[in-house]
Structure 1
Amino acid sequence: MLTSSTFSYAIGLILQSIAARRTITSNSIERGLVIRLATDRCYAWGLAAQVAGFLLAFYARETLPVYLVQAAACAAVGVAAVMGAVAFGWRVTRAEAAVLAVLTVALVLLAGAAEPSRVTAVPPATGWVLTALLASCLALAPAAWRARGAVPLAGLAGAAFAVLAVASRPLPALDVTALPLQPLAWLTLAAAAVGQILLAAALQRGSTTSAGSAMDAVTMVAASAAGLALVGDRIADGRTAWLVVGLILVVAGVLAMARVGTVVGEPIRHTDNDVADQPITQGNAR
């Protein structure tokens, strides 16, 4: 299930990036951005892939700790590089291949450190802490939008997705009919919406790897720490070092991918009435 989730996230990241980079960029808040993206078929398919990845990860969290599920999601930026090479002929460098190897090792370590457990309820204070974090993302969004580059927006998107990951941890164990009455269910949906909007804005002004890597690094650290501290994620006996090394390797890997990655960095041939042969590069976004 985690593998399928990773591939779905990777597909969504590529498609959403292609769609977002076709819009006109600006350093001011564009209220029509979400509307334009919503009518773009490429973005719609990318969003559908992201939703599929979320659902697969959602049910994986029923028994698996947040840090393992999020690590699999973080690997999507590396998988996107390989998929881009296969589907669009993008070049995968030796440095990218090395990063993919690091991410693979990290996933093995985290899988070995994971102690399966079911979480059916969390203290009310946990919900308030997560709500405050999401509110902070919204409060900082205008300043991040005015800043240059994708990293500030992508970092806030990562924090919002961390809220989503932790808030949704107890939900798969509950009956579906009980979800509408759960505040954490509504917080999960709110975090998903905020994260998607911030990610779309980040992808509009930066490469897939720069935005995706910054987002994943923040999500990985924040979600893992909150999962262990707030919802009772467990570590297998004697394997705390595996967890620490695995987390370090995941964060280092996704940040390194931002420097060496070439995803959505070469010309893409669009069909129908799309712009043809337009280079999709980070410099082109400014």
Structure 2
Amino acid sequence: MRFNYGKAVSVAAVLGMLAVFAYIALEDPAHGEMWGGSYGENEVSITTTTSATLNGNPMTEDTGFVMARGSSYTFQVEVSNNDMNDDIDTVVATLPSAFSINGGTPDVETESGENTDWNAEIVGSMIRFVAVSDFPGVNQTGGGFYYDISSKYDDALDYTQSAQFTITVAAPETSTIGAMTLKVSDSKTEKGGAEYTESYPVLSIGVGDVFQYITVKGADVSVSFREYTPIGGGGTRAPGDAFLSYVLLKETAEERTYVVLGEDVEIVVESLGGVDTVYDLTIVKH
């Protein structure tokens, strides 16, 4: 019996490649046309904290971030990726234009202690962190199948990886309110296009300023805020003018909480669809 050594090697090589791709597909499913392109629900998490407190209590995403006018604050942004189909190679923090970003540092750790290189770019009130290396997957047979064999070997955050980004922010000398937005994305390789965004209120306040947490509990209602003008005048705006100094803090199907900067505010709650609706209104002033 003759044994064709060349054929045996070729078959073994093919079987070996198939085994490798099968393993990769099971351990870290494919990027690309079939699976990649968007993060799954609850597969990306962002946690933003600061060492500063509000009346002695920690400030979190659930309270918004209240800053003293003209002061500097340091924020820690923890980003975790539990999406097996898309990595995180870009993290962008944006604040209202009145605020300024004075610095930012990526603190990325891996199991090996290597592959932790990220660049930071500051443009006005925006800072962008970008992974230096983000290896593309292997294109099999020229089709739309990609396998992330670079998992945990490049600088991007692959499945189960997390990182902390430190951002230094200066509040303006004037009182203002707006939203801090955090966006993470898979923008550099593979199919790309996956994005996830969170936002939180940020305030710059001074002595004598008042801000309020206003919570409306009830389905099928709309909420708006108007400038309150006492009878006989005294206000700087016309009665009924829209009041714009507020930001949505959190929302569920049954409840919405707003942070409002200012005290002379009329809260207008209206039923949707012409149906009377029962609702609860809670106001907490600071």
TM-score w.r.t. the length of structure 2 is 0.22
Question: Higher Cα Rg: structure 1 or 2?
Answer: 2
Q: Relative contact order: is structure 1 or structure 2 higher (C-alpha 8 Å, sep ≥ 6)? A: 1
More helix by share: 1
More strand by share: 2
